[in-house]
Structure 1
Amino acid sequence: MSQVFHEIEKKIIASLRDNPKQTPESLEKSTHLSPDQIRRGIEWLKLKDLAIVTESQSSVISLGKNGIESFQKGLPERRLLDLLKSGPKKLSDLQKELGFVFGPSIGLARKNNWIEASSDQISIKNFPSELPGEKTLKLIGNEKLSKDKLDPNDLSGLLKRPDFIIEDIIKSKEVSLSDSAKSIELSDTAGEIDVEAKVPEVFVARTHPLKDTINEIREIFVTLGFSEIFGNMTQSSFWNFDALFTPQDHPARELQDTFYLDKINAKKIGTPDQIRKVSESHKKNWRYQWDINEARKMVLRTHTTCVTIKHLAENKPDEARIFSLGRVFRNEKVSYKHLVEFNQIEGVVVGKDASLRNLMGIQREFYKRIGITKIKFWPTFFPYTEPSLQTMVYNEKLGKWIELFGMGIFRPEVTKPLGITKPVLAWGGGIERIAMLKYDLDDVREFYNNNLGWLRSATKCQ
């Protein structure tokens, strides 16, 4: 079956047969088609292997602000040498004559051994007939020149000088017919329908890879017998810090690390008994005067632990397996491994026989279900757990162990003031870090870059 062509394609092929190599702009004139029609027609012919598009780029050079001044008045060093033609000059006189170009002119002249200094005077040592860059300035003038028409050695010095040279990169396309297109009979194609023509590729909508990871983690904890709890993303400092035995002068409570809600304070932060006992715990153990006004300050939660501890304080369960999952906020510099807003999973187990061994077992089972098998635990320090451990998992791509979840047993200073009598196992960590391992990424920002190419490739893997 012969190929079928749109009228746009026919006009482009006919024009290229008359003039074998053309730019899209020249095709617009020769075919009387619009720029959009030319663009679409070229793409159609490329898909059929009938058009060849060659892309190239060239550099065009013009003078910047300082370059124009040097073209009109001479290079700073040339102006210096011209002043010294009549004989040695005092530094102060030269400075007055040259103004702000005095420094650069003296520096270049000394560097090239054109001048010599004695006491407070400067005199000529060598007087070159043409200085580096002067030939290029004369050639360019007030025009724009192709870079390949200039002496690269003479140009290189000017390129290093601020605001002397402006280099514009001009990209261009050239369209020609492939060998197979040259023998096509366009008249034979009238009225036919190409039933083999490709249809546009359709990308079916689906959830974001990070959302898939969140849903997977939620499902794992639910199947392990945990119940999900929820809390506000804004919290009082009392529940975000004080109830977790974080002293009011701790660096984490500084503006550099935490987002505070401006001029907003919580009216109610806890029961009078909770406030009194938390206050006494801080005074006794940290030995400072606890301030209720600091505890009333509202923040964007820095972790989901505040949701968990508030739930335990209100319900005081003898046994519980709960988790909270949601966004948290840290006032940090954005980098390949840090964000100001990210997702965190937090879980606790309450029970009279709960132990660190139980906690490590739960963590191992969670990582196994998400596909991470090489893990180990390192002792560490957290303000509100003792003992505390850091989960380390092996990243095959990086070839090293990396930190993931922190974990431990809530300190008595946290649980007793809130009336929680049973041991509490707790752990938490960033979901984006797990997702980075899952999708083999080394930059957490990729999840938020809206890179459609990566998003489509990532979702195909699922």
Structure 2
Amino acid sequence: MSSDAAALHPIERAILKVLSGGQEMSTEKLAEAASLSIDQARRGVEWLKFKNLVSVSELSTFTVSLDAAGTRAAQSGLPERRLVRAIKEGKTTMADVLTSGALKGEEVNAAVSGARRNQWIQFAEGNRMSATEAAEAQSAEEVLLLRLQSGGSVDSSALSEQEKKGLDLLKKRPNYITAKEQKETRVSITESGRALLPAIENEKALERRLTSELITSGKWKGVEFSALDVEAPAPAVYPGRSHPLVDIIEEVKEIFVGLGFSEIDGPMVQSGFWNFDALFTPQDHPAREMQDTFYISGERQAIPAGKEQIAKVSGVHKSGWGGWKPEEAERVVLRTHTTPVTLQHLAKKKPEVARFFSVGRVFRNEKVSYKHLVEFHQVEGVATAPKASLRDLMGLQKEFYARMGIKKVKFWPTFFPYTEPSLQSMVYNDRLQKWVELFGMGIFRPEVTRPLGIKNPVLAWGGGLERIAMLRFGLDDVRDLYTNRVSWLRSVPRCQL
């Protein structure tokens, strides 16, 4: 038992000591007797209740008091009593009673009904009224009004039988009686709690905190510490933390680095040349229209590439699409993907063997919906080697997904203007119980790599990070990632198993 007592919190010990006499106490009185705040007392009672050291019961009491109409009736009398008084004063018809001011028009029905129920009046010829001998006695309602007239509330259990009858009758009258329920928690010690009392009384003071002073002074060696209940409930703490989407981005970067990739980055504002032309996208392609792309209004810039490179790209367009206009290539756009950054890096380095990745914001002039945003994050990876193949690309993709915790992956043939062959990766969503498309992938066409001076095959894949986040967090609407709903942000665990 002593070991159990040592594990008790000081609040629990204080409560058990107060209850040692065997009396039942309310939480408020318990807090006062134990010199605790009411919150401390409530918390300690819950701990002790969970350990079966105290028992808790709820006591409900109903109190009654006069409302506005009841207060007026206590002062001037119930309508039926005022009717009887008027009759005794010689007002034997209702017209006489109303003329005298003893009753108001809306009180007539209640007055007659109450007087007849109590047998205080009787009617004669011509609807003339007379008072009976029973009118000398008080009704149950009047007895209760007299009890409540002094003000304050009265416990309904303390009422006499006659007063309870009056209470039932007055409750039927609007604004006469106010009844309130009051609940009180009563706490008492159990036999298990009583068995711990000797150990609590004889226990010496124990230290609960290991402070820096105890450590630096060396006093901790001679101090006996109390046991800690590691299963005790702790208050919820919400420290500052990174956004869950930022956590996903950092995780993706770590995976790429673990696969031997190097990160590259570049500006979000690009020329039409690198965003479209270098990717062998026709200058009349619908994706280059204002409906799909954000252009910087009224801005143009000299093509940020050498004359030889421009000539090679324009030559590919002229032979493949029948024409090329430099003014289209000079237009300034918010990048629609991170590939222009990748292409410029490849054109500058011209690597024989390399692995690069980029993560950044991209922009699409699309209608916002549950799965589309005008601004989102794209992750892109490229790898080049003399004998790089589509099989290598699929293997890299499967390994990337596996490290993200996605095991069910398959690939479907598709079309992209700047890769051939091209595939669409599909992953299985267990919650939705269906396959969903995720990343696009393929091998850059020769029309893309040759003008850049790249001889070896270049494997490329990319897609929106928000879609991975939706799968990870079980969201049905991509917009939920940006609503900044605090309850959701707090509920997302930092590490997901």
Q: Distance in 2 between matches of 1:313 and 1:235?
A: 15
Q: Distance in 1 between matches of 2:299 and 2:64?
A: 73
Q: Is the 8 A contact 1:259 1:330 kept in 2?
A: yes
Asked if 1:457 is matched to 2:461, the reply is no
2:300 maps to amino acid: N
Matches within 5 A, 1:333-412: 333-412=367-446
Residue aligning to 2:272? 237
1:246 partner SS: coil
2:254 to 202, 216, 219: 219
Residue aligning to 1:148? none
Q: Structure 1 residues 21 and 443 mapped into 2: Cα distance closer, same or farther (>3 Å)?
A: farther
Q: Distance in 2 between matches of 1:244 and 1:461?
A: 39
Q: Percent identity?
A: 61
Q: Distance in 1 between matches of 2:182 and 2:412?
A: 64
2:310 to 269, 275, 279: 275
Q: Structure 1 residues 18 and 367 mapped into 2: Cα distance closer, same or farther (>3 Å)?
A: same
1:206 partner SS: coil
1:365 partner SS: helix
The structural deviation recorded for 1:340 is: 0.5
Residue aligning to 1:419? 453
Q: Is the 8 A contact 1:228 1:324 kept in 2?
A: yes
The structural deviation recorded for 1:176 is: 6.7
Q: Structure 1 residues 317 and 178 mapped into 2: Cα distance closer, same or farther (>3 Å)?
A: farther
1:367 partner SS: helix
Asked if 1:208 is matched to 2:243, the reply is yes
Q: Is the 8 A contact 1:342 1:430 kept in 2?
A: yes
Residue aligning to 1:264? 299
Asked if 1:253 is matched to 2:288, the reply is yes
1:218 maps to amino acid: K
Residue aligning to 2:31? 3
1:180 to 175, 184, 189: 184
Q: Distance in 1 between matches of 2:419 and 2:248?
A: 27
2:410 partner SS: strand
What do residues 421-446 of structure 1 show as CA deviations (whole Å, max 9, x unaligned)?
A: 11100000111111111111111111
The structural deviation recorded for 1:269 is: 2.2
1:216 maps to amino acid: E
Q: Structure 1 residues 179 and 363 mapped into 2: Cα distance closer, same or farther (>3 Å)?
A: same
Q: Which runs of 5+ in 2 are unaligned?
A: 1-14, 16-29, 39-60, 68-178, 188-232
1:314 maps to amino acid: K
Q: Distance in 2 between matches of 1:408 and 1:344?
A: 16
The structural deviation recorded for 1:313 is: 0.8
How many corresponding residue pairs?
292
Q: Distance in 2 between matches of 1:176 and 1:446?
A: 44
1:325 partner SS: strand
The structural deviation recorded for 1:3 is: 2.8
Q: Is the 8 A contact 1:20 1:177 kept in 2?
A: no
Which piece of structure 1 moves more, 199-208 or 212-221?
199-208
The structural deviation recorded for 1:372 is: 0.3
Q: Which has the larger radius of gyration?
A: 2
Q: Structure 1 residues 338 and 447 mapped into 2: Cα distance closer, same or farther (>3 Å)?
A: same
1:382 partner SS: coil
Runs of 4+ aligned residues of structure 1 deviating over 2 Å after TM superposition are: 3-7, 16-22, 175-178, 198-202, 459-462
The structural deviation recorded for 1:460 is: 5.6
Q: Distance in 2 between matches of 1:21 and 1:361?
A: 82
| TM-score normalised according to structure 1 size | 0.59
1:295 to 304, 325, 329: 329
The structural deviation recorded for 1:243 is: 0.2
2:263 partner SS: strand
The structural deviation recorded for 1:213 is: 0.6
1:358 partner SS: helix
Residue aligning to 2:477? 443
Residue aligning to 2:205? none
What do residues 360-388 of structure 1 show as CA deviations (whole Å, max 9, x unaligned)?
A: 00001001111000010000000000000
2:489 partner SS: helix
| CA-atom RMSD in angstroms | 3.0
Q: Structure 1 residues 218 and 182 mapped into 2: Cα distance closer, same or farther (>3 Å)?
A: same
Q: Is the 8 A contact 1:278 1:417 kept in 2?
A: yes
1:381 partner SS: coil
2:422 partner SS: strand
Q: Which runs of 5+ in 1 are unaligned?
A: 8-15, 23-174, 184-197
